[in-house]
Amino acid sequence: MRISDLLRLLLLAAIWGASFLFMRILAPVLGALWTTEIRVALAFCALTAFLYLTRRTLALRANGRHYLVIGLFNSALPFPLFAYAALTLPAGYSAIMNATTPLWGALLAVLALKERLTLRKIGGLLLGIGGVALLVRLGPAHMNMQSALAIAACLLAALSYAIAGIYSRKKSGAIAAPLMATGSQGAAALLLLPLALCQPVTTSVTPLVVAVALALALLCTALAYLLFFRLIADVGATRALTVTFLIPLFALLWGTLFLHEAITPSMLAGCALVVLAMWLVLFQRKAP
């Protein structure tokens, strides 16, 4: 893996880690559905402007169905599922379920892309999940039918991300990353709009909410998905999806810097496991 690819992966994790801070501000004001709808719709507008400036077109006739598939599995389906799970589960449990995305991606890559699933890669993926478990410091959760449904929703969301990653990898040779990012966000906005209209916003919108919404859309969605789809094309779906291991690490880092949250020994141990997992998955041994 090239150093430039690793730097882009770290940048993507840092951006998506910051998105948790932004969503903490927006979701109580706008609700989960409108937070998601505004996020993907504004990102689509920004990415469309980027395509116009670079003189590219979406080629909807040729690629429209691919945008719908990626938009559904990468945004429209997993975002509401995690929002539903958040009503029942502590955030740590959702982070653990999200960290299974690379594992799902590796299994799907074997079936769809004929990639090799080595013991080294499996060990790295499992270590990454363990590291995230230490990082997020799981809280208590009473296991009942509602909790089981919430866990199932998280796993389905993680599987959805993996499907989007594999599908994007298969189409990355024919569809450039900017087109894939723009088209998928537009499709997600269309798919989510009917649901968002059923959830009216009852509180006032302040300048802070507007500023945070713009940051979430432009930085954590438009720019982030340009990086993500480019990474999938360059390093493969399994490696690109390991960003989910790093997101909790950066979310905790931003929480420490801006919210003055404490760093515990379990968090440091989790960081070490995540770094080891990334090394095992990203950097394969060269054949002699």
**Tens-digit pLDDT profile for residues 21-78:** 787 788 788 888 898 899 999 999 999 999 999 999 998 988 999 999 999 999 999 8
Q: Are 178 and 121 in contact (CB under 8 A)?
A: no
- The average pLDDT across 254-270 equals 72
pLDDT over threshold 80, residue 240:
yes
Q: Between 256 and 285, where is the model more confident? A: 256
Q: What residue type is 224 in one-letter code?
A: A
Instruction: Give the pLDDT confidence score for residue 66 in this predicted structure.
Output: 93
**For the segment 146-158, what is each residue's pLDDT rounded down to a tens digit?**
878 888 888 898 8
Q: Where exactly are the structural domains of the chain? A: 3-282
Predicted confidence (pLDDT) per residue in 117-132, tens digit: 777 778 877 887 887 7
Give the integer Cα–Cα distance in Å for 200 and 71. 23
The residue written with tokens 């594999």 in the block is 166
SS (H, E, C) 186-205: HHHHHHHHHHHCCCCCCCCC
Torsion of CA 118, 123, 125, 128, to 10 degrees: -160
d(CA 25, CA 96): 22
- How many CA atoms lie within 13 Å of 246's alpha carbon, on the beta-carbon side? 22
Residues 6+ apart with CB under 8 A from 234: 2, 5
pLDDT in tens, 185-239: 999 999 999 989 988 877 788 899 999 999 999 999 999 999 999 998 888 877 8
Better-predicted residue by pLDDT, 84 or 73: 73
Residue 91: enclosing H or E segment and its boundaries? helix 91-98
Question: Is 242 within 8 Å of 282 (Cβ atoms)?
Answer: yes
